[in-house]
């Protein structure tokens, strides 16, 4: 019996496969040749009895720098003037690493402030309720 198994790999909705293999196969997908954004990898495999199976895998390519924006969120309603901080950072291997602080400055989250206020409030409650000057007299 002839082995006519084949695996065809398609990128997005291209009519022609970018690769054809005989199974089993192991290959490297070079994402530097694919534009950034959402893509679809479609794998069509044919068995030795000429039955085809298909699998689609969604993925996102981000070879460019990551862009972080502080001060404006997606679909946010704004008015007057708003300060915006934009930072772009990637995996530049030629740059030397120098620690200068946070890459993207962000505000302290509200839950951290709530935790600090609760801790300070409990400490003040404890001091007020259990303060007894007799406990702090010297034995000498």
pLDDT number for residue 42: 92
Count CB atoms within 10 A of the CB of residue 7.
18
Task: Report which of 101, 67, 103 is spatially closest to residue 86, judged by C-alpha positions.
Answer: 67
**Contact call for residues 71 and 104 (beta carbons, < 8 A):** no
Q: How far apart are CA 105 and CA 81, in angstroms?
A: 19
For residue range 40-96, what is the model confidence (pLDDT) as tens digits? 999 999 888 888 899 999 998 888 787 888 888 888 888 888 888 888 776 655 655
Residue 1 has pLDDT above 60, yes or no: no
Q: Which pTM does this prediction carry?
A: 0.52
SS3 39: strand
Residue 120 has pLDDT above 90, yes or no: yes
């Amino acid at each position: 019996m002839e082995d006519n198994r084949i695996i065809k790999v398609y990128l997005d909705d291209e009519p022609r496969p970018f690769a054809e293999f005989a199974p089993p196969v192991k290959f490297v997908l070079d994402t530097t040749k694919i534009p950034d954004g959402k893509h679809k990898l479609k794998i069509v495999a044919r068995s030795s009895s000429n039955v085809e199976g298909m699998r689609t895998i969604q993925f996102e390519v981000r070879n460019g720098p990551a862009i972080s924006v502080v001060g404006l969120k997606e679909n946010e309603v704004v008015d007057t003037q708003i300060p915006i901080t934009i930072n772009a950072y990637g995996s530049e291997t030629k740059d030397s690493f120098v620690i200068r602080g946070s890459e993207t400055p962000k505000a302290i989250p509200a839950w951290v402030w709530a935790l600090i206020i609760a801790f300070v409030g409990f400490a003040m409650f404890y001091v007020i309720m259990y303060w007894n000057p007799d406990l702090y007299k010297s034995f000498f």
